[in-house]
Structure 1
Amino acid sequence: MTRDLDSSLLRTFVTVAETGAVGAAASRLARTQAAVSMQLRRLEEDLGQRLLDRSPRGVQLTEAGHLLLPYAHTILGASADARRALSAGQVSGTVRLGMLEDIAVGRLPRALRRFSIAYPRVALEIVVDGSVTLSKRLAEGALDVVVADPALVEAAPLLTWTQPLFWVGARGYGRDADEPLALVAFGGPCLWQQNVLTALRRAGIAWRIVCTSTSLPAVQSAVEAGLGVSVLLEGNIRSESMRILGRAENLPEAPTADFGLFMREAAGAQVAAVRTLQRFLCEELHLGFCESEPRVPSME
């Protein structure tokens, strides 16, 4: 008889995958590192698969880990959705949400669809743009909630968090150590890109930029075509056509990406809708508990 997967073990696995380190996951989950490691072992033993590669630099998902991750998100999301639907009450209003493309093409849009089902009286208006533009629209009052790079937003974030980036190449990619590393780069004000070049420079790795784009789908397509390698968030890796690169290709540790959650003060009937979305984002992005009546930073 097939056993159900333990949701507490899945939550630990997802948190470790998203933070890239057992210590960071333990802090987020309010558990000891030993307890987190034990739960990971229990899950691996239950599935009969090694899910994580461990090293002094942190952890990376194995092929089995990448396969499990979206299922883990679905299982945990369904449980949370049931609670939300039962407690939705009469929450209503319109919320204008701005977010980066890197977030918009990951799993968050699917989660927002679930939000709309759980809270049918809340209308979402979503804007996808760069951090600088989102910052301006937030200051002008054209957006209520924003997820963007805190270094490029002229406001105090309600919350900040960091997600690991991964070196990726096409499925058939093989690096020629005698040739400069072919790099697919993000254009525009992308802080990640500068960190990537700094990491390569420090590692003594020569590179050449073969493609530059401000469009995430264009970067993904260039990587899939085998033009070069890039760094992506976990949710933007197309596992059917890409593979994660690392020590075997003598690449340095990939940088991390910083994000912030920003809000404007809501008024009237909109307050409940904005705060409901804020709590939802905290839960979906695993940012810990958000108070039902948080202090919204001043936009002045």
Structure 2
Amino acid sequence: MRDLDIGLLRAFVVTAECGSVSGAAQRLARTQAAVSMQLRRLEDDLGTRLLNRSTRGMELTEAGHVLFPYAQKILGLSVGARQALAGSAVQGSIRFGMIEDIAVGSLPKALQRFAECHPGVALELTVTESTVLSEKLSLGQLDVAIGDPQLIRGRPLLTWRLPLRWVAARGFTIPQDGPLPLVTFDGVCTWRQKMIEVLAGSKKPWRTVLTSASLASIQSMIEAGLGIAVLLDLNIRANTMRVLGANEGLPPAPVIELGLFAADDQGLSSRPVSALWTFLSDELQAEALATGQSAA
């Protein structure tokens, strides 16, 4: 029985996490053809199909679901072994905060990979609004946070831009007469302000049908057909929602900015925080590239 090729396993894991060969190619700094060849080689070696292409991207087959946790563990042990031999094992704790909108999708997977590669680091996660993250950073209650740069005090270590999309339920019909029914975020939210400015600029009338601080409730209300909203790509449920645009008479949806912040200027001098920063910056820049936006 032959050993599994760790390079092929890495291509498999990253493709599964990104949901596409193109996303995996960007993260691995390889061509799409090279990643596709690695996936075929792994499937040929195992004699089974691991990934299927669907309307939502590349999805794991039953065999892929079996292999995935083993592949993650193998990759994590490989990194851990190198660090142990080099005497660079990282120990400590990190208090990391983020807004709810990015506490889904690929970022939690990056945190999972970090935890597997650095078992000596204890992660304490907080999901809340940007204004609360700003307060916790200033009080020293968080080490690192990701949120809206307009609402968090201090200079971000990294910023990147992501597009919002107009989204509605699959069976939703925009009213021909009368204002657009909007489902919006509650509290201090620059995204809501940007959305209203875009509608005002296009002289599109609107009315608020629901305001909520919960992303899950906003998604549920969209699916129920109560109105339309703006969401990030990673928050759109492809099987129940559809993206709207010029065909429905809507102006281009706004682009938002996010920032990565440390509690103070010495934040990255902490070895655990520095190690986490490496994982997060790679993930966030790959995501920005995948959506055609900029990171700096």
Indicate whether the TM-score tops 0.5. Answer: yes
Distance 1:161 1:86, change over 3 A: farther
Q: 1:29-77 CA distances to partner (integer Å, 9 max, x unpaired)?
A: 99xxxxxxxx78x89xx9xxxxxxxxxxxxxxxxx89622777xx99x9
Q: Percent of aligned pairs with the same residue?
A: 41
Structure 2 residue runs of 5 or longer lacking an equivalent are 1-7, 38-52, 288-296
TM-score (norm 2): 0.70
1:1-300 equivalences under 5 Å are 13-14=22-23, 67-68=56-57, 84-85=79-80, 87-89=82-84, 90-265=89-264, 271-286=270-285
C-alpha contact (below 8 Å) 2:180/2:206 kept by paired residues: yes
Distance 1:248 1:278, change over 3 A: same
Q: CA RMSD in A?
A: 3.7
Cα offset for 1:259? 0.5
C-alpha contact (below 8 Å) 2:92/2:272 kept by paired residues: yes
C-alpha contact (below 8 Å) 1:88/1:119 kept by paired residues: no
Query: Secondary structure of the residue that 2:133 maps to in structure 1?
Result: helix
Distance 1:11 1:236, change over 3 A: closer
Q: 1:174-198 CA distances to partner (integer Å, 9 max, x unpaired)?
A: 2122232111011111101111111
Cα offset for 1:169? 0.6
Structure 1 residue runs of 5 or longer lacking an equivalent are 17-24, 31-38, 47-63, 289-300
Query: Secondary structure of the residue that 2:204 maps to in structure 1?
Result: coil
Distance across 2 between alignment mates of 1:201 and 1:69: 38
Distance across 1 between alignment mates of 2:270 and 2:108: 22
Cα offset for 1:250? 1.3
C-alpha contact (below 8 Å) 1:14/1:69 kept by paired residues: no
**1:123 partner amino acid:** A
For the pair shown, the structure with the greater C-alpha radius of gyration is: 2
Query: Secondary structure of the residue that 2:162 maps to in structure 1?
Result: strand
C-alpha contact (below 8 Å) 2:20/2:57 kept by paired residues: no
Distance across 2 between alignment mates of 1:206 and 1:82: 56
Distance 1:165 1:84, change over 3 A: farther
Distance 1:132 1:206, change over 3 A: same
C-alpha contact (below 8 Å) 2:147/2:260 kept by paired residues: yes
Report what 2:291 is aligned to.
none
Distance 1:266 1:208, change over 3 A: closer
Query: Secondary structure of the residue that 1:152 maps to in structure 2?
Result: coil
Distance across 2 between alignment mates of 1:15 and 1:176: 40
Distance across 2 between alignment mates of 1:67 and 1:202: 33
Task: Point out the more displaced range, 173-182 or 105-114.
Answer: 105-114
C-alpha contact (below 8 Å) 1:150/1:157 kept by paired residues: yes
TM-score (norm 1): 0.69
C-alpha contact (below 8 Å) 1:163/1:258 kept by paired residues: yes
